[in-house]
Structure 1
Amino acid sequence: MKSLTATLAAALSIALANDAARAAEPSAAPAPAIEQVAQFDGAMPTGITVAPNGRMFVNFPQWGDNAPFTVGEVVNGTTVPYPELATNQPDPAAPAAHFISVQSVVADGANRLWVLDTAAPGFRTPQPGGAKLVAIDLATNTIVRTIVLPDSVVLPTTYLNDVRFDLRQGEAGVAYITDSSNAGIGGIIVVDLATGKAFRRLSGHASTAPEPDFTPVVDGEPLMNRPANGPAKPVRVASDAIALSADGSLLYYGPLSGRTLYAVPTAALRDPRVSEADLAGQIRDMGAKGASDGIAEDDRGRVFAGDYEHNAIRVLDQGKWSTVVTDPAISWPDTLSIGRDGYLYFTANQLHRQAGFHEGRDLRRKPYAVLRIRIDSGPVLLTRP
């Protein structure tokens, strides 16, 4: 087994090699300007989504910041609970009717906001009956669908992370969810939105697992779990970022603890008659995107990815990765969302500065922010004509 010193040295060597590779990238268009569109002086946000009509929603998982609400809408620079405060108050007696700890919010092309509730505050075992997908009608701001995910897909180690929708499949569409477990196995959860039936795919496969010997370097030092009392341990987070191709034929994904982007055909992913072995044989390696907590797809077929090691946003365009912009303000780019206004929005939440990575010292500096850059393209909204 490698010593801790050898592991950290290897991590620094890899980081330097990545920097050199980026420096050698062919020169491109000037980097777009970074604009701040929202800031948060309280709890740390993770998710961001911009609805087709321009409304902006964020979420605050219950990781220890005691967020007064876990889903919010940014209105005139102020974040208010959404759809209202009562739904954001956990109720152990009615876990399906209240948000517990939301990790992701995604607006679809049918004027709905989908809320992905982990039901796992503090990364604990999900509360029975609480892990769910919730659809809110943006015209009426009322909940119109709640899908409680069964124990067959929500394992004791599951942490639901991000979700994408293709509303053309089946009677009401399909959802794809990443399991970014930091203590068990990763995987992709497929959900039939009409029936609520769900099943796991690529569960424990190498592409949904943390990359071996991966240690990211952020803010100039190896990022590791460093409790106030106890030895440092690697950060081992499974499948996290997720996106769909412009035509919906491919699902892109990758582990948070890794730098590789993978793609798998969605038709095979949805079909339970395709064996796990046959499905694994169809996985494509899309190259080194950088270490990402979030990715997003646009209607031109490009995939954008955060690069939390380099305070950067990168893009896969016509088979080649390049850096779009890098700036200290992009401090841990988390979720990415593309609006119809031609901008890519993303949260910069300083996740790596949390106390658990720094021997109990919280190094985050408020405010946290939602930033955006102009990309001159639109979102992928897979709906029936």
Structure 2
Amino acid sequence: MILKSKLLLAATAVASLSACAMTREAAQPVIEQVATFDGAMPTGVTVAPNGRIFINFPQWGDNAPFTVAELVDGKAVPYPDAATNRPDPADPARHFISVQSVVADGADRLWVLDTAAPNFSQPQAGGAKLVAIDLSTNRVVKTIVLPPSVVLPTTYLNDVRFDLRQGAEGVAYITDSSNAGVGGIIVVDIATGHAIRRLSGHATTNPEPGFTPTIDGEVLMNRPAGGPATPFAVASDAIGLSADGRMLYYGPLSGRTLHAVPTAMLRDPAVSEEELGRAVRSMGRKGASDGIAEDDKGRVFAGDYENNAIRVFDRGTWSTLVSDPRISWPDTLSIGADGYLYFTANQLHRQPGFHGGQDLRRKPYELLRIKVSGAPVLLTAK
């Protein structure tokens, strides 16, 4: 009887563990496909408050016919028009060159962040810029060309967040994800276009020392055709803003830690770099992320490209929200008013530059979403 009782207890325990595992698996949000892309590889996505979805395609060698698009009936259509998407060396400020990020704000505008650095080249003079498009008219209403004082020869503008409550028209925060120089945060006054560079070369905006990512069972390194392998070292990339606008979140692409810094100190040029650096604090190990997103509940969502996952920071703790092979390099994340978290899965790590010139990407690339029941942080004017 004792033996039978022990066997029964063991079987019950195994069944209980299996049920718990099934419950955890079932609790993962369902991944839904929003759109697919058979041409150039996308990076950025943003969902406007009215539900319109915009995508961008940087000029990284795929010869994208346009670098900014709107999804119309599931298809990418050049936005605001084809002409604006054609680079013009004689007029770099009025034409897109190579766009890395698109972000919709709370004032019915789409902001376009143009690196002016196709194939990660040195930014073209007068081409690195922020462009605002009125979504009600689909016309450009503001262009801010960023000066050489903040756009260095090694700069690669990556992502941006906006707080429209600060100053006359608001402020923008931009990450510099240089893979050849120093990282940093660029702070732009939208009304005047005045820009300052903060935390330039700081330990938290530069690649984490000793960072060695592993994806698909292989260490990710730069492996050009016919050239030596070198470490994958990319600076500050992911960026987010707290629900009250008081803290800016950021982290290097080559790293697993999320950092936070007070925005009031970032905006104040009287605050020294040393003082600003001391104010930075860690928000823990989020995993290796390309993009992050924030919601009105104070949560921060982050891609985890090493583990094909989306993670969430909630009430001081990081946890994995969903993990699936389909999440092949989650790039940019965006929360829609519909309570979904949208993200691109673009297989970035399978590009030829990481595999001796061999392109291992398998089309189509995907725009996916999961239900998170949060709302976007849209810090609009007072």
- Using the size of structure 1 for normalisation, the TM-score is 0.93
1:360 aligns with 2:357: yes
Distance 1:78 1:28, change over 3 A: closer
Distance 1:304 1:229, change over 3 A: same
1:209 aligns with 2:218: no
What's the CA shift for 1:28?
Answer: 9.1
1:189 aligns with 2:191: no
1:274 aligns with 2:271: yes
**1: CA distance, partners of 2:25 / 2:113:** 37
Question: How many residues are treated as equivalent by the alignment?
Answer: 361
Q: How does 1:95-114 map to 2 (within 5 A)?
A: 95-114=92-111
1:93 aligns with 2:90: yes
**2:137 pairs with 137, 140, 152, which one?**
140
- Which secondary structure does the structure 1 equivalent of 2:249 belong to? strand
**1: CA distance, partners of 2:212 / 2:72:** 38
Report % sequence identity. 78
Q: How does 1:180-329 map to 2 (within 5 A)?
A: 180-329=177-326
Are the equivalent residues in 1 in contact too, given 2:169–2:381 (CA < 8 A)?
no
What's the CA shift for 1:27?
Answer: 6.0
Equivalent in the alignment of 2:41: 44
**1: CA distance, partners of 2:196 / 2:366:** 35
**2: CA distance, partners of 1:193 / 1:64:** 32
- Which secondary structure does the structure 1 equivalent of 2:27 belong to? coil
What's the CA shift for 1:230?
Answer: 1.6
Q: How does 1:118-137 map to 2 (within 5 A)?
A: 118-137=115-134
**1: CA distance, partners of 2:285 / 2:28:** 20
**2: CA distance, partners of 1:276 / 1:204:** 10
- Which secondary structure does the structure 2 equivalent of 1:143 belong to? strand
What's the CA shift for 1:193?
Answer: 0.1
- Using the size of structure 2 for normalisation, the TM-score is 0.93
What's the CA shift for 1:29?
Answer: 7.7
Q: List per-residue Cα deviations over 1:311-349 (Å, max 9, x = no partner).
A: 000000011000000000000000000000000000000
**1:58 pairs with 55, 58, 61, which one?**
55
Q: CA-atom RMSD, angstroms?
A: 1.2
What's the CA shift for 1:307?
Answer: 0.1
**2: CA distance, partners of 1:28 / 1:300:** 24
**1: CA distance, partners of 2:75 / 2:241:** 31
1:117 aligns with 2:107: no
**2: CA distance, partners of 1:205 / 1:28:** 40
Larger Rg: 2
**1: CA distance, partners of 2:65 / 2:228:** 33
Distance 1:30 1:65, change over 3 A: same
Q: List per-residue Cα deviations over 1:142-170 (Å, max 9, x = no partner).
A: 00000000000000000000000000000
1:84 aligns with 2:81: yes
1:165 aligns with 2:152: no
Letter in 1 for 2:362: R
Letter in 2 for 1:67: A
Are the equivalent residues in 1 in contact too, given 2:260–2:282 (CA < 8 A)?
yes
What's the CA shift for 1:384?
Answer: 2.3
Letter in 2 for 1:309: E
